[in-house]
C-alpha cells in the first residue's frame, strides 16, 4: 500500500506533466505540510513566480481595499500567497482590519513562501500591536531551512526597544524551527526538473484549480442543507459526499453533529476548534470572504453566528439575499439593509456579541458585536422583524436612541434581549420591550431592575462570581463564572458579587413581585 507521501508526490508529478500547475502546487503544499522536505519547498518556490505572472494583479488600494483583499483571499488560489502578504497594509487598514487579514493567513495551510514573505516584513520590525500576530504567522508556516538564519535589521534608525522585542520573538521561532521534524520524501529530488519541464507547457490550464467537489454537486448539497437547516440528515449527506475529496470537512461535520447529541471530550472539542480555525475560509463556501473569521461560530458543521463584512448598504442588501445564511442563527452586519435580504428572513437573532450554547442552555459571550442605537433605529424603520433574540449596545452613548426606538420595535416573536455594556443606565429599563429573558454582563446593572419587569422569567448574568442559583418553575436567575480578567479588573464585579447582598436583593425583589423564591444549593 502506497504511503500518503507517495500518493501526493505521484499526483503532483501527474499534474505537472499535464500542465495543471496550480493543482500541482496544491498537492506539493500538502506534501510539504506533512514532510517539510526541502526539495518539496524548492519545487513550490520554483512554481510561484511564473504562476504569479499569469494571475491577475491584486488591486487592494483605496476605500475598497478591505473588500478586495478579503475576496481575493477567499478565492484560496495557491498563487496569491505573496501578493496577499505584500498587500497586508494596503489601504491603511487599521489595527482591527489588519489583524483580520493576518487571521486569514493563519488559517491557510503551512506554506514556505508565506514564511519567507512574512520574514521580509519582519525585517521592517512591525510595531508592538501586531508583533504577536506576525510571530504566530512565522510559527504557523515555519520553514526548517531557515533555522540559524533569523535576524533583525541592524539599521541604527530603528528604535532599540523594537529590535530587542523582535530579537526575543525570533529566538522563540528559532527554537520551534530547531525542534521540527523533517522527513525526506523518496523521489522529491526530481521535482525541480519536473517543474522546469512543466513551465514549458502551454499556459491554458496553469491557473486551473479543480474544486474538491464539482460546483454542480456542491450546489446540490448546499440546496439540501438550506432547504431545511434543522435537518441533520441533509448535513450528513453533505459530509458523506465530500468525504473523499475533503475528509477533514466530513469528519468535522460528523463530530459536531455528534457533539450536539452528547458533548465530546474537551480534548476533541479543542481539536475541532483548531481544525475549523484553519479551514474556515474553505468551509464557508459562498460566504467565504463575507464573514469575519473572528467571532465566527460553527454549529452542526456549518456557520451559526458571525459578523458579516459589508462595504455599503446596496451591497449589504444584495448579500442578504444569499440563501447560505439560513444555517446561521445570530448575525451582525454594519449596514442594516442586510437584514432585509431573503436569506435572513427567518434569522433568529440580530447581533453576535453572545452565542447560544444548546448544551448549556444559555447565551455565552462571543467575540462578535451587538447592534448600536443607530442600527436599532434603522431596523425599527424596516418594519416587522422575525427575531426571537436581539442584541443591543446598551452603554450610555446609545441610551437616548434606544429609549425612543426600542418601544417601537415590531418583533412579535422576540423572547430574549441581550444588553451589551460595561454599565447600563437604569433609564433604559423602562424602554425595554416585553421579553421573557434578559442577558447582560453582571457587573453592568443591578439584577433587581429586571426582576421588576412583568414579562421577564429569566435573567442570565455573565461575569458574576462563582454563584449559581435556581428559582422555581416561574423564575430562574443564573450567574456565570467570571474569567480571570474580569476577576482582576472589574471593581464593580466584586461589589455586585457579594453573595449575601446579591441574594438579599433578589429575595426582596421576588417578595415584592410575588414571584418565586431563591433556592439554596
Q: How confident is the model at residue 104 (pLDDT cuts 50, 70, 90)?
A: confident
Q: What is the C-alpha end-to-end distance of the chain, expressed in Å?
A: 60
Please state, as a whole number, how many other Cβ atoms lie within 10 Å of the Cβ of residue 205: 14
Model pLDDT, residue 477 = 46
Q: Could you tell me the CA-to-CA distances from 63 to 60, 68, 69, 386, 473 in Å, in that order?
A: 9, 10, 11, 33, 54
CA angle (136, 140, 143) in 5-degree steps: 120
Q: Is the pLDDT of residue 106 over 80?
A: yes
Model pLDDT, residue 260 = 87
Distance of CA 125 to the CA centre of its chain: 27
Q: Output the nine-digit C-alpha cell for 125.
A: 520590525
Model pLDDT, residue 320 = 95
Q: Which residue has the higher pLDDT, 488 or 208?
A: 208
Q: Is the pLDDT of residue 467 over 60?
A: no
Model pLDDT, residue 481 = 35
- Taking the C-alpha atoms of residue 80 and residue 77, their distance in angstroms, rounded to an integer, is 6
Q: Is the pLDDT of residue 262 over 80?
A: yes
Helices (H), 358-478: 373-381, 396-405, 448-451
Grid cell 499569469 in the structure block, residue: 54
Q: How confident is the model at residue 56 (pLDDT cuts 50, 70, 90)?
A: confident
Helix (H) or strand (E) holding 316: helix 313-319
Least confident of 1-10, 21-30, 311-320, 428-437: 1-10
Give pLDDT tens digits for 181-202.
899 999 999 999 999 999 998 8
Model pLDDT, residue 153 = 67
* Those residues with Cβ within 8 angstroms of residue 101's Cβ, 6 or more apart along the chain or in another chain: 69, 70, 73, 84, 88, 93
Task: Pick the most confident of 72-76, 155-159, 209-213.
Answer: 72-76
Q: Output the nine-digit C-alpha cell for 276.
A: 475549523
Strand partners, 356: 363
Q: How confident is the model at residue 271 (pLDDT cuts 50, 70, 90)?
A: confident
Q: Which residue has the higher pLDDT, 192 or 490?
A: 192
DSSP 324-362: GGGG-SEEEESSGGGGGSGGGTT-SEE--SEEEETTTTE
Q: Which residue has the higher pLDDT, 446 or 510?
A: 446
- Residue 371 DSSP SS3: strand
Give pLDDT tens digits for 116-139.
999 888 877 666 667 888 899 999
Mean pLDDT over residues 470-485, rounded?
A: 39
pTM over 0.95: no
CB < 8 Å & 24+ apart, contacts of 275-280: 275/248, 276/252, 277/106, 277/107, 278/106, 278/107, 278/108, 278/109, 279/107, 279/248, 279/249, 279/252, 280/107
Q: How confident is the model at residue 505 (pLDDT cuts 50, 70, 90)?
A: low
Percentages of the chain per state (helix, strand, coil), in multiples of 5? 55, 10, 35
Helix (H) or strand (E) holding 299: strand 291-299
Q: Output the nine-digit C-alpha cell for 266.
A: 474537551
Distance of CA 521 to the CA centre of its chain: 38
Give pLDDT tens digits for 214-225.
567 778 889 999
Task: Pick the most confident of 156-160, 312-316, 427-431.
Answer: 312-316
Query: For 177-218, what is the HEC assignment?
Result: HHCCCCCCCCCHHHHHHHHHHHCCCCHHHCCCCCCCCCHHHH
Q: How confident is the model at residue 142 (pLDDT cuts 50, 70, 90)?
A: very high
Mean pLDDT over residues 419-427, rounded?
A: 88
Least confident of 204-213, 232-241, 254-263: 204-213
Give pLDDT tens digits for 336-347.
999 999 999 999
- Taking the C-alpha atoms of residue 440 and residue 354, their distance in angstroms, rounded to an integer, is 9
Question: Which of these, 301, 300, 304, lies nearest to 291 by C-alpha position?
Answer: 304
Please state, as a whole number, how many other Cβ atoms lie within 10 Å of the Cβ of residue 354: 27
Q: What is the mean pLDDT of the chain?
A: 82
* Those residues with Cβ within 8 angstroms of residue 353's Cβ, 6 or more apart along the chain or in another chain: 332, 365, 366, 368, 369, 370, 391, 418, 420
Model pLDDT, residue 289 = 86
Model pLDDT, residue 281 = 84
Question: Which of these, 27, 22, 72, 30, lies nearest to 47 by C-alpha position?
Answer: 22
Mean pLDDT over residues 94-115, rounded?
A: 86
Q: How confident is the model at residue 512 (pLDDT cuts 50, 70, 90)?
A: low
Please state, as a whole number, how many other Cβ atoms lie within 10 Å of the Cβ of residue 397: 11
Amino acid at each position: 500500500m502506497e504511503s500518503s507521501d507517495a500518493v501526493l508526490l505521484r499526483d503532483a508529478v501527474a499534474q505537472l506533466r499535464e500542465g495543471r500547475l496550480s493543482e500541482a502546487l496544491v498537492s506539493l503544499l500538502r506534501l510539504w505540510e506533512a514532510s517539510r522536505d526541502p526539495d518539496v519547498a524548492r519545487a513550490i518556490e520554483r512554481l510561484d513566480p511564473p504562476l504569479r505572472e499569469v494571475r491577475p494583479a491584486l488591486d487592494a488600494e483605496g476605500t475598497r481595499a478591505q473588500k478586495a483583499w478579503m475576496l481575493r483571499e477567499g478565492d484560496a488560489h495557491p498563487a496569491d500567497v505573496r501578493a496577499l502578504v505584500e498587500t497586508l497594509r494596503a489601504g491603511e487598514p487599521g489595527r482591527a482590519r489588519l489583524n483580520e487579514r493576518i487571521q486569514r493567513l493563519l488559517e491557510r495551510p503551512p506554506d514556505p513562501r508565506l514564511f519567507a514573505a512574512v520574514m521580509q516584513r519582519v525585517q521592517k520590525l512591525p510595531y508592538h500591536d501586531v508583533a504577536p500576530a506576525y510571530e504566530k504567522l512565522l510559527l504557523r508556516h515555519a520553514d526548517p531551512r531557515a533555522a540559524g538564519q533569523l535576524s533583525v535589521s541592524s539599521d541604527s534608525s530603528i528604535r532599540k526597544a523594537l529590535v530587542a522585542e523582535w530579537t526575543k520573538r525570533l529566538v522563540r521561532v528559532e527554537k520551534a524551527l530547531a525542534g521540527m521534524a523533517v522527513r525526506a520524501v523518496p523521489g522529491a529530488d526530481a521535482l525541480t526538473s519536473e517543474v522546469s519541464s512543466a513551465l514549458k507547457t502551454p499556459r491554458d490550464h496553469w491557473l486551473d484549480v479543480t474544486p474538491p467537489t464539482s460546483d454542480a454537486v456542491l450546489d446540490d448539497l448546499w440546496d439540501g442543507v438550506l432547504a431545511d437547516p434543522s435537518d441533520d440528515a441533509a448535513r450528513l449527506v453533505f459530509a458523506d459526499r465530500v468525504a473523499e475529496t475533503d475528509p477533514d470537512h466530513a469528519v468535522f461535520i460528523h463530530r459536531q453533529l455528534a457533539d450536539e447529541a452528547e458533548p465530546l471530550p474537551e480534548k476533541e472539542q479543542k481539536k475541532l476548534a483548531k481544525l475549523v480555525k484553519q479551514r474556515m475560509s474553505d468551509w464557508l463556501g459562498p460566504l467565504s470572504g463575507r464573514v469575519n473569521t473572528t467571532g465566527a461560530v460553527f454549529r452542526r458543521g456549518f456557520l451559526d453566528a458571525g459578523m458579516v463584512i459589508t462595504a455599503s448598504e446596496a451591497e449589504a442588501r444584495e448579500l442578504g439575499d444569499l440563501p447560505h445564511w439560513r444555517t446561521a442563527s445570530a448575525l451582525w452586519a454594519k449596514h442594516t439593509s442586510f437584514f432585509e435580504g431573503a436569506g435572513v428572513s427567518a434569522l433568529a437573532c440580530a447581533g453576535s456579541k453572545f452565542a447560544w450554547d444548546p448544551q448549556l442552555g444559555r447565551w455565552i459571550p462571543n467575540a462578535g458585536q451587538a447592534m448600536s442605537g443607530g442600527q436599532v433605529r434603522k431596523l425599527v424603520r424596516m418594519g416587522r422583524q422575525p427575531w426571537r433574540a436581539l442584541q443591543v449596545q446598551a452603554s450610555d452613548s446609545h441610551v437616548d436612541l434606544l429609549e425612543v426606538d426600542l418601544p417601537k420595535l415590531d418583533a412579535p416573536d422576540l423572547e430574549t434581549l441581550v444588553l451589551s455594556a460595561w454599565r447600563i443606565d437604569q433609564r433604559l429599563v423602562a424602554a425595554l420591550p416585553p421579553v421573557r429573558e434578559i442577558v447582560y454582563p453582571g457587573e453592568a446593572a443591578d439584577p433587581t431592575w429586571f426582576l421588576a419587569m412583568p414579562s421577564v422569567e429569566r435573567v442570565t448574568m455573565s461575569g458574576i462570581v462563582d454563584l449559581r442559583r435556581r428559582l422555581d418553575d416561574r423564575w430562574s436567575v443564573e450567574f456565570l463564572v467570571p474569567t480571570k480578567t474580569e476577576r482582576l479588573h472589574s471593581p464593580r464585579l466584586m461589589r455586585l458579587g457579594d453573595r449575601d447582598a446579591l441574594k438579599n436583593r433578589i429575595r426582596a425583589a421576588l417578595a415584592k413581585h410575588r414571584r418565586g423564591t431563591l433556592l439554596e444549593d
